[in-house]
A and B are shown apart, each in its own frame.
Chain A
Amino acid sequence: MIGKNTPLWGKKTRLKSSYDAVIIGGGLHGLATAYYLAKEHGMTDVAVIEKRYIGFGGAGRNTAIVRANQRTQQNVPLYKEALDLWPVLTKELNFNLMFNNCGNLNLMHSEAAMNAARMNVATAQFHGVESHLLDAKQIKEMVPALNISNDITYPIHGAMYHPPGGIVRHDAVVWGLAKGAAKLGVEIHQHTEATAIHTEGGKITGIETSRGKIHTPRVLVSAGGYSAAIIYHMLGIKLPISVLTIQAMVTQPLKPILDHVVSSGAYHAYANQTLKGEIATGAHMDPWPNYTTLTTAYYIKHQAQALSEFLPCLRGVKFMRIWGGLADMTPDMAPIMDGNDPIDGFYMDCGWGYFGFKSCSAVGKHMAAYMASGNCPDILKPFHLRRYENHRLMGETAALVNYTPDN
């Protein structure tokens, strides 16, 4: 099928020998950056190079949850902008992204967790993001399916409620952005593998691909979980990244029972009901780096145990499908966006871990501004790579979680 038919976004074009900018990775960050380069900066001579097909990686494997209730003052405004962009992009791209702002309910299972949530809520409110605390009784009124009794492993104390968050259809974002970018002149080349990045005198001069050489003064690597390996292999730049597999699964379709995204740190589980009726749910990561997307019974059991405790009505419901994707984790759980350092014309957008989907719209906009002007927009400045050697790690996680290799 793929390769024979005309793609959704227009006729296939020949790979040219030169472009103003080349983006390695046809995922959401790459496509969004290409779209905004063309739309807001008039840079239409842009190629998106994708080894497999667009949306193959994290773009099509995430659990489609969007929210802006992160922890630090550097991160929250970026995610807020991304969240605000969904309805805007839906109109602009004339493509239904199926944004369902059903709200996120983040369960807290101890008074200590409630205190941590209080700080998160204060940060959110300071940045104009709607977020507040609920007690167990209020949660029960909102989501009657939840078990707020004391007879489970981690009884529910309360929750952090974030009404503007929710779910976006991730494939629709891939297709909408591809269509939008192509319409403005961006070329999308699938089944084209970048094999080398060429530099001369500290400047980017081009890339080598499986279909030939391309001259370009600007290269962005936004290849999700594959970025760190690509950047080290092609440029010798090491990154503070560990690439882990994260699994997700869906149950058989059910009648509507869950009209919020419900998540729990203590249970390492999050769940929402899709528009098709399935309960889509995910767990924590397999705690060792690898590039497989293998799945295991271990996590099916884990999800079944967690969900049947706090959503007991799901006992006996069958899982229908399970899949895995890659998450490129950094020690401070915050991404790396940088450019022109140490190579002029080289940009990177990686280290998103499991936050790549919810951030893609705003990041594409700002990375495009970065690449078009060569100057880092203020909102991206805190995310530079050198923060690690300067001991300016961000506090996106209160304490290192035990499933990262850094703990």
Chain B
Amino acid sequence: MSLTLTCPICGKRNGYEFRYGGEDKGPRPAEEGLSPRSWCEYVHMNKCVAGVQKEWWFHRDGCGTWFTTHRNTLTNLEVEEPEATS
């Protein structure tokens, strides 16, 4: 399906060059006081937002950069300025 992503180094490229890296969940939780539940929350749990979400991508077949972008999951289009935060 058509998807164009903007790599911070290579610019606009075909979506199939990239690997999806998951919803942005903020920084990795601190080891100290980490419970199975909060670790599970960080590793597995998603919001599955139907709308704009901030997410990670890896330019696998390109420069190898990891970056975040905002994309509308209902249209499969990148959004420059997030319409909403997830």
CB atoms of A228 and B40 under 8 A apart: no
CB atoms of A389 and B36 under 8 A apart: yes
**A contact residues, total (Cβ < 8 Å):** 32
Quick check: is A245 within 8 A (CB to CB) of the other chain?
Answer: yes
From A270-278, A284-292, A367-375, the one touching the partner chain is A284-292
Quick check: is B3 within 8 A (CB to CB) of the other chain?
Answer: yes
CB atoms of B45 and A240 under 8 A apart: yes
The complex places the Cα of A238 from the Cα of B37 at a distance, in Å, of: 12
Of the residues A232, A294, A295, A331, contact of B48 by C-beta under 8 Å: A232
Which A-chain residue is minimally distant from B45 (CB atoms)? A238
Please provide the chain B residues from 27 to 51 with a CB less than 8 Å away from any CB of chain A in the complex. 36-37, 39-41, 44-50
The complex places the Cα of A233 from the Cα of B47 at a distance, in Å, of: 8
Quick check: is A255 within 8 A (CB to CB) of the other chain?
Answer: no
Report A-chain residues with C-beta under 8 Å of the C-beta of B49: 229, 232
The complex places the Cα of A291 from the Cα of B22 at a distance, in Å, of: 15
Report A-chain residues with C-beta under 8 Å of the C-beta of B76: 290, 292, 294
Please provide the chain B residues from 1 to 58 with a CB less than 8 Å away from any CB of chain A in the complex. 1-3, 15-16, 19-22, 36-37, 39-41, 44-50
**B contact residues, total (Cβ < 8 Å):** 25
Quick check: is B74 within 8 A (CB to CB) of the other chain?
Answer: yes
CB atoms of B36 and A391 under 8 A apart: yes
CB atoms of B48 and A229 under 8 A apart: yes
Report B-chain residues with C-beta under 8 Å of the C-beta of A95: none
14 contacts between A and B (CB under 8 A): A226-B50, A232-B49, A238-B46, A239-B46, A242-B46, A243-B48, A287-B20, A290-B74, A292-B74, A294-B2, A324-B1, A328-B48, A389-B39, A405-B20
18 extra A-B contacts, CB within 8 A, seeds A240-B40, A243-B73, A388-B44: A233-B50, A238-B45, A238-B46, A239-B46, A240-B44, A240-B46, A245-B1, A286-B1, A288-B15, A291-B73, A294-B2, A294-B76, A296-B1, A298-B16, A324-B1, A388-B45, A389-B37, A389-B39
The residues of B with any CB-CB pair to A shorter than 8 Å are 1-3, 15-16, 19-22, 36-37, 39-41, 44-50, 73-76
